[in-house]
Amino acid sequence: MGSRFPALLGAITLIVLYVVVIFAGFFAPYGFNETDSNASLIPPTPIYWLQIEKRSGFYVYPVSQGAVDLSTGARAVMVDKSNPTPIEFFKGGRLFTTTGAGKVHLLGTDEQGRDQLSRLLYGGRISLFIGIVATAISFTIGTLVGTIAGYFGGWVDLALMRLAEVLMSVPKIYLLVGLAAILPPQLSSTQRFLLVICVLSSVGWAGLSRLVRGKVLSLRERPYILASQVMGASPLRTMTRHVIPQLTTDIIILATLEIPGLIEAESVLSLIGLGIQPPDPSWGNMLSIATNPSVIVLQPWLIWSPVVLIIVTTLAFNVVGDTLRDTFDSKSAPN
């Protein structure tokens, strides 16, 4: 149990993350593009437990921008402690919100006065699902190419593996940047989301195809494969009924290790302006503000929250993938 506890913790973390981002409309206190012109670059809002007029509960105080210190660039925050605002739960279809002058910004606000927590939750839909969808597409391609190459061999194997090696020889990040740079700037967010998935999928299948091909080379000499061929089964039927099912476990394990890399790739593309474009959020384009050194010093809450989520997601997938690999390797090892 002790050795599998990290994997259990990683799996629970991933489940929580996906549930929260899928139901972001409930968990986020505001819309991802809802602005407050008088509350830009506000630090995380303190929460107070107060008893006012026989009512005990959580309260926040209204905050607004103050003057900027010209010597340091720091912006003063004005807190109105004469007007506490209660935090209300399960109201208006949200987990928590306020209806008075005070606003709940648990992770602060950005330069346009948008709630950082809300943008993280809505942006997680893009960042988390790009990894899964792109992995599903690239692994489907890689599995088919590797299976065909290993099963038929000969010139088919030679041609497909040389193509895979060409793709593998190109540095992935430069290929991603080059492919993403040709995307038309007038694309909608949905179109850009789909094209980024295509870009990531187009470079993710080559390595898997080589691994699948090696596995199929050993499988095609198994008695049940030879029996299927002798009985007149078509190559397509043999591959889909007898070969690919034997690869399922390996593919699932490799997928859990591949998804974090694609999430990071999307983050890099969005960070340099070639992925999902504002005002639609993703964890990558939320990090683009880190290119401003003053933000790192004066508004660190805008940086650490997406960074922490990317790191936690990556670690959770890697821990789950490593544990699955170790578990199945130990089961398949000879006694």
Q: Are 269 and 177 in contact (CB under 8 A)?
A: yes
All structural domains of the chain: 45-104 (no CATH), 116-332 (1.10.3720.10)
pLDDT at 333 over 50: no
CA angle 301, 305, 311 (to 5 degrees): 145
Average model confidence (pLDDT) across the chain: 82
**The predicted structure's pLDDT at residue 152:** 86
The percentage of residues in the chain with a pLDDT greater than 90, rounded to a whole number, is 11
Number of neighbouring beta carbons within 10 Å of residue 11: 17
The percentage of residues in the chain with a pLDDT greater than 70, rounded to a whole number, is 91
Measured distance CA(107)–CA(113) in Å, rounded: 12
**The predicted structure's pLDDT at residue 23:** 94
Q: Which residues contact 66 (CB under 8 A, 6 or more apart)?
A: 75, 76, 77, 78
Sign for the CA dihedral angle at 138, 258, 282, 87 comes to positive
Alpha carbon of 97 to those of 16, 86, 102, 104: distances in Å? 21, 9, 10, 7
Measured distance CA(29)–CA(32) in Å, rounded: 9
Mean pLDDT of the 105-127 span = 89
Global pTM reads 0.82
DSSP-derived letter for residue 292 is S
DSSP-derived letter for residue 102 is -
Distance of CA 188 to the CA centre of its chain: 20
Measured distance CA(120)–CA(139) in Å, rounded: 28
Q: In this predicted model, what pLDDT tens digit does every residue of 234-252 receive, in sequence order?
A: 878 888 887 888 888 888 8
**The predicted structure's pLDDT at residue 287:** 83
Alpha carbon of 328 to those of 117, 142, 216: distances in Å? 38, 21, 18
Measured distance CA(275)–CA(209) in Å, rounded: 26
Mean pLDDT of the 289-293 span = 74
Range of 12-16, 101-105, 127-131, 329-333 with top mean pLDDT: 12-16
